[in-house]
Amino acid sequence: MPDAESNAICITEGLIRLDVDTANGPVEVKRIADPAHCLTGEWAHTSRPAPPAVLQPLLPVPGVVPLGELELIEALRDPHTVVADGRKPAQFERYTIPGAINLPFTDVESALDHLGCRRAADGWDCRNASRVALFCNGAWCGQSPAAIRKMTAAGFPADRILYYRDGLQGWLLQGLSVWTPGTSASFHI
């Protein structure tokens, strides 16, 4: 008879769960164990009024690296990559992808500073900038693409930007855990 672990809902083969470091300690990421679970509420909507909700390109600017869920999980594990939620602070504070920090699209200057860019006489010096994985609400959300365009226009190297276009909606569609910043527990929606 198979054990419960062999019948688990895996993130990927051999990976049932992982812990992501946050300022409040590790937070668990796993998938919902109910194969009949369906998204409901705001995340189940397929259409939103446009503008502002229009489908976004996979590459907001040339040189940006697109991500899927497994690549975002690798970014969460990489201590040299900052995973950032580009949504407004009020959205971020409700819940986000575990381990993400908030770099709202409305404050790109603070984001550049946080990522290791320095003010220079002619703009920003981003030679020592961190890699950043950005996401927002989903493929229809323009918040992180707007941040990416502003960041690269200011001098941030496009090849240091990873873009998870599917955002929170894609994350939730895969049944993955979310987290409320300031806590040490994850949950499912």
- Whether cis (ω within 30° of 0) applies to the bond prior to 51 is yes
Task: Give the integer Cα–Cα distance in Å for 178 and 41.
Answer: 16
Compute the average pLDDT of residues 1-19: 75
pLDDT > 50? residue 37: yes
Residue with tokens 């990927």: 12
Residues 6+ apart with CB under 8 A from 99: 20, 21, 22, 27, 76, 83, 179
How confident is residue 7, by pLDDT bands cut at 50, 70 and 90? low
Compute the average pLDDT of residues 156-165: 98
Query: pLDDT > 70: what percent of the chain?
Result: 96
Pick the CATH number of 4-187 from 3.20.20.70, 3.90.1150.10, 3.40.50.1460, 3.40.250.10: 3.40.250.10
**Amino acid identity for residue 54 in this structure:** V
Compute the average pLDDT of residues 142-147: 96
Residue with tokens 């873009």: 163
Tokens of 64: 């940006």
- 144 vs 43, more confident: 144
How confident is residue 5, by pLDDT bands cut at 50, 70 and 90? low
How confident is residue 82, by pLDDT bands cut at 50, 70 and 90? very high
Compute the average pLDDT of residues 158-163: 98
Mean model confidence pLDDT for the chain: 92
pTM listed for this prediction:
0.91
The predicted-structure confidence for 46-65, as pLDDT tens digits, reads as follows 888 877 889 999 999 999 99
pLDDT > 80? residue 3: no
Compute the average pLDDT of residues 165-178: 97
Lowest-confidence region among 30-39, 55-64, 139-148: 30-39
pLDDT > 60? residue 1: no
Compute the average pLDDT of residues 146-150: 97
Compute the average pLDDT of residues 15-36: 92
